[in-house]
Amino acid sequence: MDLDNFSRIHLAHLPTPLEPLKALSRHLDGPDIFVKRDDCTGLAGGGNKTRKLEFLMADALDQGADTIVTVGATQSNHVRQTVAACAKLGLRAEVLLEKAVVRDADYASNGNVLLDHLMGATIHHCEPSADLNAEGQAFADQLASDGRKTYFIPTGGSSVVGALGYTGCATEILSQSADAGLDIDAIVVASGSQGTQAGLLVGLAAAEADIPVHGICVSRGRVELETLVHALAEKTAEYAGVKTPILRENVLCDDSYYPPGYGQPNDGMIEAVTLCARIEGLLLDPVYSGKAMAGLIDKIRGGTYKKGDTVIFIHTGGQVALHAYRSTFES
């Protein structure tokens, strides 16, 4: 699979580092843990969505767009990175933020929201929706009827175009692991809008690499998420020309670390964020990577991953959102 066959605008600092978490491995007396630092992609604080936006923004420009419309929760990392890409490319950013999480004043005005405004986005708010992407597309169509040349990006940038970014990430991981002499036993990643996990599955399939990708659910239940990830992976493989089938049984998600809900703290997340900060100087976010790390830690303690294994944790970014959860960590 050759990503050079697709339109792309280089926005990210790539390849991102693959670093050992030696102190965490010692603390847990478990496997060798490596972190893929996709929090270091560089666009307005970085994060995993920047890889997707390299292809999405190129597609938007190919279609002659002057306005990007996207959607997300109030503290959406995807929205922040999309707004930054618009600023860099001189496009108008129209954003629909869903009030999916109700917290304190910090949550509504700090973190990603502060940066969205700083970078010049036009922000609109809506109540929780059964289909936020449908609302966003309808809003984009309304703007188009008023004369704008709109391009709609779904939640998380998760489309067949956006998922290409993580087929490339899979290639990076395989190359870096080979250079370091690593034999990977598992990849662990937060999974929400499906594009990151789906893209990794397609990239690994294209390379015929039999490495399980364990998605830690952050926004929905396991069965629903596995179904959605599989569907997007199949569509992405077809779009990218990957012939290796994506088997349903190879789509692995775990919703044990998701409650009480999207964007809502739990004890495992708080422990994971605090532990990584204090023994690795590594900042995770409270919504995605914090819950994914809680899942990894719990699976190590439960014996799923053992000493002698090698596990790669994808850091999807989002540390900016810590500022919106000050009360969670102060208490």
Do residue 33 and residue 11 come from a single domain? yes
Distance (Å, whole) CA 129 – CA 141: 18
Do residue 145 and residue 190 come from a single domain? no
DSSP β-ladder status, 310-315 and 213-217: unpaired
Q: Is the pLDDT of residue 1 over 80?
A: no
Do residue 187 and residue 230 come from a single domain? yes
pLDDT tens-digit readout, 126-185 = 998 889 999 999 999 999 999 999 999 999 999 999 999 999 999 999 999 999 999 999
pLDDT tens-digit readout, 184-223 = 999 999 999 999 999 999 999 999 999 999 999 999 999 9
Do residue 102 and residue 185 come from a single domain? no
Q: How confident is the model at residue 104 (pLDDT cuts 50, 70, 90)?
A: confident
Active site (catalytic) residues: 76
Residue 135 is inside which H or E element, if any?
A: helix 132-145
The model carries a pTM of 0.96
Total domain count, the chain: 2
Which of 156, 178, 210 lies at the terminal end of a domain, its last residue? 156
Do residue 138 and residue 166 come from a single domain? no
Do residue 141 and residue 76 come from a single domain? yes
pLDDT tens-digit readout, 239-292 = 999 999 999 999 999 999 999 999 999 999 999 999 999 999 999 999 999 999
Nearest to 313 by CA among 14, 112, 12, 25: 25
Which of 125, 156, 187 lies at the terminal end of a domain, its last residue? 156
What rounded mean pLDDT belongs to the chain?
96
List the CATH number of the domain containing 58.
3.40.50.1100
- Kindly list the distances between the CA atom of residue 206 and the CA atoms of 8, 14, 188, in Å, as whole numbers in the listed order: 20, 20, 19
Do residue 234 and residue 138 come from a single domain? no
Q: Is the pLDDT of residue 21 over 90?
A: yes
Distance (Å, whole) CA 296 – CA 289: 10
Note down the domain range covering 134: 49-156
Do residue 223 and residue 284 come from a single domain? yes
Q: How confident is the model at residue 81 (pLDDT cuts 50, 70, 90)?
A: very high
Do residue 16 and residue 128 come from a single domain? no
For residue 267, is it left (φ>0), alpha (ψ between -120 and 50) or beta? alpha
Do residue 268 and residue 296 come from a single domain? yes
Distance (Å, whole) CA 254 – CA 236: 22
Which of 156, 179, 194 lies at the terminal end of a domain, its last residue? 156
Tell me, what's the pLDDT at 208?
96
276 token code pair = 């990584």
Q: Is the pLDDT of residue 24 over 80?
A: yes
Does the N-terminal peptide bond of residue 245 adopt cis geometry, omega within 30 degrees of 0?
A: no
Do residue 184 and residue 306 come from a single domain? yes
Tell me, what's the pLDDT at 105?
80
Average pLDDT of the residues in 106-111: 90
Nearest to 121 by CA among 63, 56, 160, 74: 74
Do residue 62 and residue 119 come from a single domain? yes
